[in-house]
Amino acid sequence: MTRHFTDIDDLSISELETVLDIAAELKARTKRDEPHPLLERRTLGMVFEKPSARTRISFETGMTQLGGHAIFLGPDDIGLGEREPLRDTARTLSGYVDCAMVRLFDHADLEELAAYADVPIVNGLTDDAHPCQTLADLLTLRETVGFDAQVAWVGDGNNVAQSFVLGCALAGIDLTVATPEGYGIDERVLDRAGEIGTAPDVTADPEIAVAGRDAVYTDVWVSMGEEAERETKLAAFEERGFQVNADLLPDDATVLHCLPAHRGEEITEDVLESDRAAVWQQAENRLHAQKGLLAFLLDAL
């Protein structure tokens, strides 16, 4: 049966640990400049509806380091759902590539591709979920504060937050989520987290959320595709004190951000550029976490 990665909880608790272990080993090999061509002669198709810097660069570089090849397919190359039904695209891709990473708007489109593909489909981001980011987040937390740490999410209950909630439940991380009223985590995601392990504590007060926390994670308040809501969302988050700044942060708390950051909005320049920020380590870990995932999905170890 083909294994897909549509969200982080497609992995079991033990499988998540395996993927992170593989990622850590491949990161160590990379730092030692040791070749690791685990996916020699394998091809990754990369389908993009949404633009990205980190997603494309990390997957393409990762496949090169693993000895394989990556093909970029932008909106003008494939025209998802326009030239032919999604199910036809899925079956065609299955005949050409060993795995497909797709970065889409509609999560339902991802699920349809996965339903008809005979090769692993990896979610490079949808409006509902960003599980590859969560893998990098968990790898970074494991390297910095450990899974016994207390962590806070402060900001929008967006796709990154929703996958992070599920990832923390899988990893057994004590998480508190602070979002303004009306911008919270989907109740179905909270229910899934509870089924996996422990659902996060939820509050509308960022000061309560961060109190005593070892790490604080934030993301942009206005995600791609939400530009029409920008002024409304900025007002809601600013008025309720959701900016991650020096006054809000507990002493010595590690700061996470999935990038790109809007300095002066969800996070201040001084915090982002401080020694407390692990965001560049987090960004690099996209590469290593995704290499671990690809090696796992393609049974390359």
Active site members: 103, 130, 133, 219, 258, 286
Count the neighbouring beta carbons within 10 Å of the beta carbon of residue 160.
25
Q: Is 258 among the annotated ligand-binding positions?
A: yes
Give the phi and the psi of residue 107 in degrees, each rounded to 5. Answer: -65, -30
Count the neighbouring beta carbons within 10 Å of the beta carbon of residue 247.
9
Q: Which helix (H) or strand (E) holds 291?
A: helix 279-297
- Where do we find the tokens 């036809």? 88
Of 244, 227, 234, nearest in space to 178 by CA: 244
Give the helix ranges, DSSP H, for 117-212.
131-144, 159-171, 187-196, 206-210
**Distance (Å, whole) CA 213 – CA 206:** 11
**Distance (Å, whole) CA 139 – CA 120:** 22
Q: Is 219 among the annotated ligand-binding positions?
A: yes
Q: Is 85 among the annotated ligand-binding positions?
A: no
Q: Is 99 among the annotated ligand-binding positions?
A: no
Instruction: List, in sequence order, every beta strand (DSSP E) within 204-265.
Output: 215-218, 254-257
Q: Is 223 among the annotated ligand-binding positions?
A: yes
Q: Is 133 among the annotated ligand-binding positions?
A: yes
**Distance (Å, whole) CA 255 – CA 274:** 9
Torsion, Cα 121 123 126 131, to 10 degrees, reads: 150
Q: Is 288 among the annotated ligand-binding positions?
A: no
The angle, 0 to 180 degrees and rounded to 10, between the axes of the packed helices 131-144 and 13-31 is 70
Q: Is 259 among the annotated ligand-binding positions?
A: yes
Q: Is 213 among the annotated ligand-binding positions?
A: no
**Distance (Å, whole) CA 174 – CA 149:** 7
Q: Is 131 among the annotated ligand-binding positions?
A: yes
- Which residues make beta-bridge pairs with 153? 177, 217
Q: Which residues are annotated as a binding site for L-ornithine?
A: 159, 219, 223-224
Q: Which residues are annotated as a binding site for carbamoyl phosphate?
A: 103, 130-133, 258-259, 286
Q: Which residues are annotated as a binding site?
A: 103, 130-133, 159, 219, 223-224, 258-259, 286
